[in-house]
Structure 1
Amino acid sequence: MKIEASSPAEYISHAPSERHDALNKLRQLIRDNIPEGFEETLSYGMIGYVVPHSVYPPGYHCTPELPLPYMNLASQKNFIGVYHSGIYADKDLHDWFSSEYKKRVGKKADMGKSCIRLKKLDEIPFELIGELAAKISAKEWIELYEKNIRKE
């Protein structure tokens, strides 16, 4: 589902109405918990949380004119997606999140490499998403990103 928008608030307003409350709550939890050094923007057609060029001038190695992506929030066709590059890049963080999700929701998370698919609005572990946003500082994310890029 592609949503044309010029701001995160407009993005949410164009999502299906039944998702507005959940998207607004997730956005606020991320904004309240994400460490300094990240910036909220629209990125890849989603709400994005990135390390801006002012903090990390090289940008994203695949597309250096774009800032370094960290986390995204999106309304997809069949779910709300939370994309967190840290759970893809750091096995310990992935394992922590998977374990906490199961404890709090009672079942295994529906996940891809960096994607957490939130299909049932009444089962979203909001506080856990806030905790996940807080887990890595911008400096730590840059270090982890560069360590993983050097492996390629």
Structure 2
Amino acid sequence: MERTVRLFLPLPGDPQPSLTAFLDEPLRWLPQGRRHERGLVSTLRAGGMAKSVLVQVGSPWVVGSTHWRSLRWDPINEDDGRPERLLPAFDGELGLHVLGPGRVTLILDGRYVPPGRSVGAALDGVALGRVAQRSLERYLEDLAENLQTAVPTPAGC
């Protein structure tokens, strides 16, 4: 059973640095982003857990005052590049809603299917859904910090 997630995180200060970073190379702002033989990898954290996810980030587009990028990830074991079956994949959109100075919101809107079929869905409903929610909140917080502190890519790179 698919679960829907929709998170909003207000960002303080001038929106321009965050917007500039958001529109640039995703490695600038993905939490612990790095290149892997299979593509981009980022780290998803919650509590003491840290897991690698193979990430696909789409090109930016604009609707009204919100800049969007598609965001998809699949958990992997970085040592051998194989899928991690105990964690769900995520498919959604990442948005940066800009209304002016001090009025910026980072948005994560998407879906995941708990692993483990009906047993996994039952566990997700009872307890693991809260873990997934907190993991996504933490990811969004890490991503927001990176957007706000990203160093501009030099021209011509």
What TM bracket, shorter-length normalisation? 0.3 to 0.5
Greater helix share, structure number: 1
Q: Which structure has the greater CA radius of gyration?
A: 2
Normalising to structure 1: TM-score of the pair? 0.35
- Higher RCO (Cα < 8 Å, 6 or more apart): 2
Higher strand share: 2
Q: Taking structure 2 as the reference length, what is the TM-score of the superposition?
A: 0.34
